[in-house]
Amino acid sequence: MRGQKMARHEEDPCGSADDSGSPQEPELRLVLVGRTGAGKSATGNSVLGQRRFASRLAATSVTRVRVRVVDTPDLFGPDVHRADPACVQRARCYLLSAPGPHALLLVTPLGRFTAQDQQALREAKELFGPGVVARVVLVFTRREDLAGGSVHDYVRCTENRALRELVAECEGRVCALDNRATGSEREAQVEQLLGLVEGLVRRHRGGHYTNEEYRLAQALQAAEPEERLRRVAEKLAGRLRRPRGMRLLAGLWAWRKSQGTYWSLGLALLLGGAVLVYVLLWSRLGDPSDGDLKS
């Protein structure tokens, strides 16, 4: 089993988590996202194997062996900008999941995917950047409603077009949990979920998600907790005040940089191909000035 039934609370008043690099540092960092009432806290409790999360208006981090789970109550609803105008709560989520999450668990009840769930995903992309969708795992609660059926069959046969599009965007990374399950049944479900996450980590060559705010949080590890929280909140608020189009371009550029050499090589090949096509077309059509000289 990836972790025992051991957990320790990681929250402090400024949202800092233990990211000092000690041998006990969790190997996987998971951030729970979703609309209010979707079952995020119950899902976090299932992963931890203990009742450690309760619904509350603050980001909270709890750790068990090799896994850190960050719950994010009310950070992805339509009122988050009014409720958190200075981005303090959202910055606290950054500090709790620093240096960056390995996966975002988008939690939604089975059979109840609504416009609010779509809104939660949009807010997650806005908070973390559009590239974070490559780290999303869709987690359905109420697994018992499948009555023994497959969650993959469920999403394949659903008539909910928005849900099908989301599953495609997440490249089929879905699983289902019965948060009332206990014992070996619960452990088997958690194993399946963590197996999905570990496969995602391997796909990204062991790396976690990062962006400018996470890099700032890491650079400020030696700062006072209050100062670290203030600086990250200010940077986040500055980004979120930009027009949406500028935020999207900045997020895509940051995602490009995070892809490293392989992405750069691909871009170079694409541009080189475009230049080659241009040269070939030019040579085939000829220089228009030649016709002028011959007439």
CA distance 228 to 8: 23
pLDDT for the residue numbered 203: 93
**Maximum Cα–Cα distance for the chain, whole Å?**
90
- The CA-atom distances, in angstroms, between 52 and each of 61, 68, 86, 94, 140 are 9, 12, 28, 20, 20
Q: Is the pLDDT of residue 208 over 90?
A: yes
pLDDT for the residue numbered 82: 85
Query: Does residue 150 sit in the same domain as residue 284?
Result: no
Query: Does residue 290 sit in the same domain as residue 222?
Result: no
Provide the pLDDT confidence category of residue 36 given band limits of 50, 70 and 90: confident
Q: Considering its fold, how many domains does the chain have in total?
A: 2
Q: Is the pLDDT of residue 18 over 60?
A: no
> Average of pLDDT values for 205-215?
95
pLDDT for the residue numbered 164: 93
Query: Does residue 65 sit in the same domain as residue 165?
Result: yes
Q: Is the pLDDT of residue 232 over 70?
A: yes
Query: Does residue 33 sit in the same domain as residue 161?
Result: yes
Query: Does residue 114 sit in the same domain as residue 218?
Result: yes
Please give the model's pTM, rounded to 2 decimal places.
0.75
Query: Does residue 171 sit in the same domain as residue 280?
Result: no
Query: Does residue 169 sit in the same domain as residue 54?
Result: yes
pLDDT for the residue numbered 26: 47
Give the whole-number percent of the chain exceeding pLDDT 70: 68
Query: Does residue 236 sit in the same domain as residue 155?
Result: yes
Q: Are 41 and 71 in contact (CB under 8 A)?
A: yes
Q: Cα 136 to the chain's mean position, in Å?
A: 5
At residue 182, what is the residue type?
T
> Average of pLDDT values for 197-208?
93
Range of the domain at 14: 8-245
Residue 256 included in any domain: no
- Phi, psi (5° rounding) for residue 70? -110, 120
CATH number at residue 116: 3.40.50.300
Query: Does residue 114 sit in the same domain as residue 227?
Result: yes
The most confident of 121-130, 164-173, 186-195, 211-220, by mean pLDDT:
211-220
pLDDT digits (tens, 9 = 90+) for 62-72: 666 688 999 88
Residue 253 included in any domain: no
Query: Does residue 46 sit in the same domain as residue 159?
Result: yes
Q: Is the pLDDT of residue 198 over 70?
A: yes
What letter does residue 208 receive in the DSSP assignment? P
Query: Does residue 171 sit in the same domain as residue 285?
Result: no
Least confident of 43-52, 173-182, 208-217: 43-52
Q: Is the pLDDT of residue 194 over 90?
A: yes
Residue 2 included in any domain: no
Name the CA dihedral angle for 70, 249, 171, 127, rounded to a multiple of 10 degrees.
20
Query: Does residue 90 sit in the same domain as residue 218?
Result: yes
